[in-house]
Amino acid sequence: MPLISRGRRCRPRRDFNLTIEKREIIAIIGPSGCGKSTLLRIIVGQEQASEGHVYIGGEQVGFADAHRGIVYQKYSLFPHLSVLDNVMLGKELSMSYLRRGTARRQFHAEAMHYLQRVRLADHAHKFPHELSGGMQQRVAIAQALIMKPRILLMDEPFGALDPGTREDLQVFVLELWEEDGLTIFFVTHDLEEAVFLGTRIIVLSQHYTDDRPVTATNNRGARIVADHQLPKSALSTRAKAATEFHELITAIRREGFDPKHTQHIRDFNLKHPDSFITL
């Protein structure tokens, strides 16, 4: 059974359907305004779809819960709390005030475990302003992991970091994925990052045609125009220098980002086993 499935069935040729298996890194890319972050917010439960439903493990989901962790580009840390307290906060807020006191020792141990995992145990008692941007993002990842989510959603998490720190965190995410078997949704504008991290790349775009004229009341909207299946194993950073790596980036840029390349809906690159389309 797929871990995640989402279907939207309304007027013909406007369906949006997506099925995800466990232990995938789904890199979602596309032009600005195509709906990448909106899709993430619907999956996490911060927004509700006007039509259709989201299912996890066959069960329909609604508002946000601990099963879906999310990491944003802007660090989600409280400046007045220490690193340790920031990581513990989700666990504390999930429990009644009266029970927090007795459970705090357990929360402390769990938080230190995840800070060890993200290589920040020695910084547990520092405050966010004392950390670099990359370190703050690792704290944000620990915040999400301590809640033991079934799905980790990441919305441009490394977009504000310098190239060296960004690559270090890309490798770190792959390490976590291999160790924990996480299912990860990763939204990015960086095509190199998407191809390096993803075991599957979903390209959303509004640049296509389906024989219908575009009018004020008949806006096509973005769709999945390509769905690439990649190896389910972590890559070395040396892969970024391979010819095949850059050829795939070029193909994706043409499929989703070139407004002059308006491929017909029947010609979408949907060769992934879980891809499907309704004409």
Two tokens at 118?
């993200």
The pTM score is 0.85
Confidence of residue 10 (pLDDT cuts 50, 70, 90): very low
Ordered alpha helix ranges (H), the chain? 36-44, 83-93, 97-117, 133-145, 163-180, 191-197, 243-257
pLDDT in tens, 239-273: 999 999 999 999 999 999 988 888 888 888 888 88
pLDDT at 196 > cutoff 60 = yes
Is 11's pLDDT higher than 50?
A: no
Answer yes or no: is pLDDT of 75 > 70.
no
The pLDDT of residue 9 is: 40
pLDDT tens string 210-223: 877 766 655 667 88
Write the pLDDT tens digit of every residue in 101-141. Answer: 667 888 899 999 999 989 999 999 999 999 999 999 999 99
The mean predicted confidence, pLDDT, of the chain is: 85
For residue 279, pLDDT beyond 80: no
For residues 116 and 91, the answer to whether their CB atoms sit within 8 Å is no
DSSP state letters, 34-84:
SSHHHHHHHHHTSS--SS-EEEETTEE--S--TTEEEEESS----TTS-HH
Q: Distance (Å, rounded) from C-alpha 216 to C-alpha 208?
A: 17
Answer whether 21's CB lies under 8 Å from 276's CB.
no
Q: Which residue has the higher pLDDT, 102 or 81?
A: 81
**Residue 263 bridge partners (DSSP):** 208
Tokens at 74, concatenated? 């802007």
For the cut 60, the answer to whether the pLDDT of residue 13 exceeds it is no
Please give the average per-residue pLDDT across 50-72, as a whole number: 83
How confident is the model at residue 39, as a pLDDT? 87
Q: What pLDDT does 6 receive? A: 57
